[in-house]
């Protein structure tokens, strides 16, 4: 196997190729890989482009106008193959089907043993991945891309691969391929939940996969009430079904009325609602990256993670991050949670003010309500 830097990896000619992107998870990481998809489609408009993606995230890509095929990968099922004969047989069938697709080029943007192994299983002659891939994944690549140290963000690392594939000069974009029918369905779902048509709203997403990424329920409830007092567009709670209990807790502590669509949307409907929102307030999470990709203004609350590596990749995003000695720890479990435990509503509201004023063209304090003492601009 050979290694390579940015030079010399471009696949030749404009002829039709069969190209596979491997990026199974997670939601934000899939969004970060979209510029590579856009670049490949622009460079090879006649190619057959496929994406291997984890089953829970496949709906985000299904029907995408730049893709010819979405290949769902059931990690939960295939992960049992070492102790289940049925799971092993299912994986072998999957591997056989993958190989029969006869891909010419596989681009592994996950960089783990499993994804790199799948690139090798595909039988593609050209398998491109990161030279610094974890779990010794690089051994399965025919070409390895070295990224500079300053490429810290996932988007920047993916762009290193895009350049190595000869896609330099392609405009940076994050196409989600939302259709007008999906926007219409999102508006209808929102109107049904609110009992009226909602023209403008603030999307609130209090959930996150890691407990250490989550701000307090009391903080979210107090922030929603402050936004109501400041006459910001009404708040709409969004999230996955696993966030339902959290959303209920936030609603119970709020004085302001909120519309709750938590766990009541498909993944594509969630994306459409984020696209239609005036402002999104959230944690470091998958929906944050979707909103940033859609160029919706975002205020993102960060706890243990570093926005330089995993932050919203958008000029319209603002980040609230802690100032504590242990930051960034990147821990999923923490005994004190100082970074978000001590985060005040005033600190978050100050960032929301700046973001909202850019959207609304006026100070939040110009509304019918009061901004509270000492917080006017």
Q: Give DSSP secondary structure letters for 64-87.
A: -TT-SEEEEE-HHHHTTTTT-HHH
Task: Note the CATH architecture for domain 18-164.
Answer: 3-Layer(aba) Sandwich (3.40)
Chain centroid to Cα 195, Å, comes to 30
Write out the two tokens for 116.
């790199």
pLDDT value of residue 79: 86
Smallest CA-to-CA distance from 268 within 184, 155, 158 is with: 184
Cβ neighbourhood burial of 15 (10 Å; 0-12, 13-18, 19+): exposed
pLDDT 10s digit of each residue in the chain, 377 long?
334 443 444 454 445 599 999 999 999 999 999 999 999 999 999 999 999 999 999 999 999 999 999 999 999 899 888 889 998 999 999 999 999 999 999 999 999 999 999 999 999 999 999 999 999 999 999 999 999 988 999 999 999 999 999 997 767 899 999 999 999 999 999 999 999 999 999 999 999 999 999 999 999 999 999 999 999 999 999 999 999 999 999 999 999 999 999 999 999 999 999 999 999 999 999 999 999 999 999 999 999 999 999 999 999 999 999 888 888 888 778 877 888 888 999 999 999 999 988 887 766 654 444 444 333 32
Count the neighbouring beta carbons within 10 Å of the beta carbon of residue 184. 11
CB 208 within 8 A of CB 214: yes
Query: What size, in residues, is the chain?
Result: 377
User: Rg of the chain over CA atoms, in angstroms?
Assistant: 22
φ, ψ (nearest 5 deg) of residue 211:
-60, -35
Residues 6 or more apart in contact with residue 96 via CB below 8 angstroms: none
- Name residue 73's beta-bridge partners: 54
Which fold would CATH assign to domain 180-366? Rossmann fold (3.40.50)
Count the neighbouring beta carbons within 10 Å of the beta carbon of residue 45. 11
pLDDT value of residue 15: 58
pLDDT value of residue 377: 27
Place of tokens 């995408």: 64
Strand extents, DSSP E, 74-145? 105-108, 126-130, 143-145
Residues 6 or more apart in contact with residue 263 via CB below 8 angstroms: 239, 240, 241, 242, 243, 244, 247
Distance CA 349, CA 228 (A): 12
Asked if domains 18-164 and 180-366 share a fold, the reply is yes
- CA dihedral defined by 20, 23, 27, 31, rounded to 10 degrees? -60
CB 347 within 8 A of CB 320: yes
Domain boundaries, the chain: 18-164, 180-366
């Amino acid at each position: 196997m050979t290694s390579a830097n940015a030079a010399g990896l471009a696949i030749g000619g404009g002829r039709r190729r069969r190209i596979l992107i491997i990026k199974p998870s997670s939601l934000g990481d899939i969004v970060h890989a979209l510029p590579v998809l856009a670049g490949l489609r622009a460079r090879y408009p006649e190619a057959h482009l496929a994406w291997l993606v984890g089953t829970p995230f496949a709906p985000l890509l299904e029907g995408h106008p730049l893709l010819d095929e979405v290949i769902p990968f059931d990690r939960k099922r295939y992960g049992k193959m070492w102790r289940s004969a049925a799971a092993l047989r299912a994986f072998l069938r999957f591997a056989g089907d993958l190989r029969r697709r006869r891909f010419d080029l596989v681009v592994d943007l996950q960089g783990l043993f499993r994804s790199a192994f799948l690139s090798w299983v595909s039988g593609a002659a050209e398998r491109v991945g990161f030279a610094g891939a974890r779990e010794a994944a690089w051994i399965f690549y025919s070409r390895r891309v070295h990224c500079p140290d300053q490429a810290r963000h996932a988007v920047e690392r993916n762009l290193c691969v895009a350049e190595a594939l000869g896609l330099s000069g392609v405009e940076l974009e994050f196409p989600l391929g939302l259709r007008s029918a999906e926007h219409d369905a999102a508006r209808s779902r929102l109107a049904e939940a609110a009992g009226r048509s909602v023209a403008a709203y603030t999307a609130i997403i209090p959930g996150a996969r890691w407990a250490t990424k989550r701000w307090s329920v009391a903080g979210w409830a107090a922030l929603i009430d402050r936004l109501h007092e400041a006459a910001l567009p009404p708040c709409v709670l969004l999230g996955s079904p696993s966030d339902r209990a959290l959303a209920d807790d936030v609603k119970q502590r709020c004085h302001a009325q909120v519309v709750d669509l938590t766990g009541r949307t498909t993944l594509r409907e969630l994306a459409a609602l984020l696209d239609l929102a005036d402002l999104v307030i959230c944690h470091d999470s998958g929906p944050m990256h979707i909103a940033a990709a859609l160029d919706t203004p975002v205020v993102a609350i960060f706890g243990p993670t570093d926005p330089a590596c995993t932050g919203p990749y958008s000029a319209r995003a603002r980040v609230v991050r802690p100032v504590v000695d242990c930051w960034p720890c990147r821990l999923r479990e923490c005994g004190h949670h100082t970074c978000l435990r001590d985060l005040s509503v005033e600190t978050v509201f100050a960032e929301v003010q700046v973001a909202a004023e850019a959207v609304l063209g006026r100070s939040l304090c110009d509304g019918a309500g009061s901004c509270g003492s000492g917080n006017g601009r």
